[in-house]
Amino acid sequence: MIPFEMQILVAAILFTIGLIGLLTRRNLIFMLMSVEIMMNAGAFAFVAAGARWIQPDGQVMFLFVLTVAAAEVAIALALLILMHKLFKSVDTNQLNSLKN
């Protein structure tokens, strides 16, 4: 059995990688992938906590996070396609033209 502290450390590292990717990238596809990594890190922490205390709550929360992630991806990809049609790019710097 893997120690609980190690599982939480892996979840924290994954969340940090996702956060760094979200803050440093300007491409919407990479930003979407970074958000997915962060959501999966949170879901992994729920599963680890549920396994630690021998409760099914962590797995239930994992299913909830998976459902929210699927809805988020569907909406984000629709916006991504719309942005690509309008601006011929998926770079967030292109959205600055909306201010004028």
List the chain domain ranges.
Answer: 4-90
> pTM for the complete prediction?
0.88
Look at domain 4-90 and name its CATH class. Answer: mainly alpha
Q: What is the pLDDT of residues 32-80, one digit of tens each?
A: 999 999 999 999 999 999 999 999 999 999 999 999 999 999 999 999 9
pLDDT, one tens digit per residue, over 74-97 is 999 999 999 889 888 888 887 776
Query: In sequence order, which residues have a C-beta less than 8 Å from that of residue 68 and are 6 or more positions away?
Result: 39
* pLDDT greater than 60 at residue 100: no
d(CA 16, CA 37): 9
User: Which CA distances in Å does 61 have to 56, 80, 91?
Assistant: 9, 28, 33
